[in-house]
Structure 1
Amino acid sequence: MTSRSQDPQPDPGIPDLTAKVSALSRDAAAQATITSVLCQLQAAVGAEHGGALMLGPGNRIESAEGSDAVVAHADALQAHLGEGPDLTLLEGGKSLLVSDTHSETRWPRWAEAVAELGLRSLVSVKLATRDHVLGSVNLYSSRPDAFGDDDREVAEDLARRAAVTVSASITARDLPAALDSRILVGQAQGIVMERFDLSNDEAFAVLLRHSQSTDTKLRTVAEQVVQEYSVPAESA
């Protein structure tokens, strides 16, 4: 009598791999949106090069996208030197024009370095929705005085409309992680409620207090509670 073959068992690593692939796909979609916006802005004002600086929490520069290595280097110099059009835009305003980097005095170190890269003029526009600053876009030319006020107005208008699309793509990328965090914190609250006979609000206060006292992210504290099923006694 032949034995029946056993049904194949699911690979426990597949769900984790699927989640990673999904996250990479969302990152790629957000990056593709930013690249598309950058190309549209370049074409609209006739820029030879373009770069985008995107911001993370606390208005820190989180990522950059450039049409080529020269632009990527020029934009990265702003963070390195602590000066440049993007950093100025974060303090206010919608756009900036640089007629000639050889004679630019607002950011002398950055302008000198960028001029040596062969980038002579640019228009920089803020990428922002009504509620959030997402980043900024720099459109470069190898010629001085390549852009005027008309180009700046066109870039401002396109950037304002494009910001909505970029914001939506970033939200789609980050939403699953945010939902995962809420679920994780909720699970940790349930464990603390059961162990210490606390209300929902009291349990959350315990997690938050431990997060603050140990300078640890709330999600990390919740993850530790769920994984180890333990809370430091002094936190309760």
Structure 2
Amino acid sequence: MAEHDEIVSAVVRELSAIRGLEPSIEKVTESARLLFGADQAGVTLIQGRGELVTAGPTDEVVTALDSLQHELHQGPCVDAATEQHIVVSHDLGADPRWPAWGPQAHARGVNSMLAADLQADGRRIGALNLFGSRVNQFRDTDSALLVSFSAHASAALAAAHTIESLTSALDTRTVIGQAEGIIMERFGVDAVTAFAILKRYSQDSNTRLREIAELVVETRQLPSA
């Protein structure tokens, strides 16, 4: 157990040095795959309006089976992400909980699954999903270790998402400010009018404001009408 705790601590230290949500997720899935003896791993993320998406898959089969779960609205990834804490199946082909999905997972060579919810700031952000080719592959998994790993992973992913969002917002504000400056200089208008011009072009063309601003900065002129 002490050895496993040290592995989790090492993963947390590595995650703290990674910048960006995508590489952080990839580190989580690969570390979980090795730590818990899975053949493959992935993360289900809850996006706006409750949409579930797959992130950091270690193999194409993860993406395929996750997408099928999302389509059918059934499976361990869906259950762990939305309503349960830990979901385990030792024989997917015979598991009655997912009659449409389980046999298809079995047909793709996946016979065991273990999924744990990911939570940050008191809300669910998704699930960590482990895939095994053997029946009973996760029977001896240490549940306390899984809970600990998932908690650390949740915190790391939430922090990476926050940093990425703030960086993106700052970059957007910077490029919009640059575009405003170009319009102000070229047309002799103030900052409020320059922003209104950008916003009007964005609305009329149904294009994101940032994209309009980037075009102005790149070409130093307003887009063609």
TM (norm. structure 1) is 0.64
- Number of residue pairs matched? 204
Q: Which residue of 2 aligns with 1:158?
A: 149
Distance 2:25 2:199 in 1: 35
Instruction: Tell me whether 1:53 sits opposite 2:43 in the alignment.
Output: yes
Distance 1:131 1:182 in 2: 30
Identity level (%): 29
Distance 1:62 1:208 in 2: 34
Distance 1:216 1:152 in 2: 48
Q: Which residue of 2 aligns with 1:86?
A: 77
Q: Which residue of 2 aligns with 1:37?
A: 28
Label 1:210 to 1:170 Cα distance change in 2 as closer, same or farther (>3 A): same
Return the offset for 1:149.
10
Q: AA paired with 1:230?
A: L
Q: How does 1:89-108 map to 2 (within 5 A)?
A: 89-108=80-99
SS at match of 1:102: helix
Q: Which residue of 1 aligns with 2:177?
A: 186
Label 1:205 to 1:149 Cα distance change in 2 as closer, same or farther (>3 A): farther
Return the offset for 1:34.
3.3
Q: Which residue of 1 aligns with 2:102?
A: 111
Distance 1:206 1:133 in 2: 40
Query: What stretches of structure 1 of length at least 5 have no aligned partner?
Result: 1-24
Of stretches 153-162 and 135-144 in structure 1, the one that deviates more from structure 2 is 135-144
Judge conservation of contact 2:113–2:138 (CA < 8 Å) in 1.
yes
Instruction: Tell me whether 1:230 sits opposite 2:216 in the alignment.
Output: no
Larger-gyration structure (1/2): 1
SS at match of 2:100: helix
Distance 1:117 1:178 in 2: 41
SS at match of 1:140: strand
Distance 1:138 1:62 in 2: 10
Q: Which residue of 1 aligns with 2:14?
A: none
Label 1:116 to 1:186 Cα distance change in 2 as closer, same or farther (>3 A): same
Label 1:229 to 1:133 Cα distance change in 2 as closer, same or farther (>3 A): farther
Q: Which residue of 1 aligns with 2:56?
A: 64
Distance 1:43 1:53 in 2: 15
Q: AA paired with 1:140?
A: F
Q: Which residue of 2 aligns with 1:15?
A: none
Q: AA paired with 2:88?
A: L
Return the offset for 1:139.
1.4
Return the offset for 1:114.
0.8
Q: Which residue of 2 aligns with 1:125?
A: 116
RMSD over aligned Cα, in angstroms? Answer: 3.9
Return the offset for 1:43.
4.7
Distance 1:163 1:88 in 2: 17
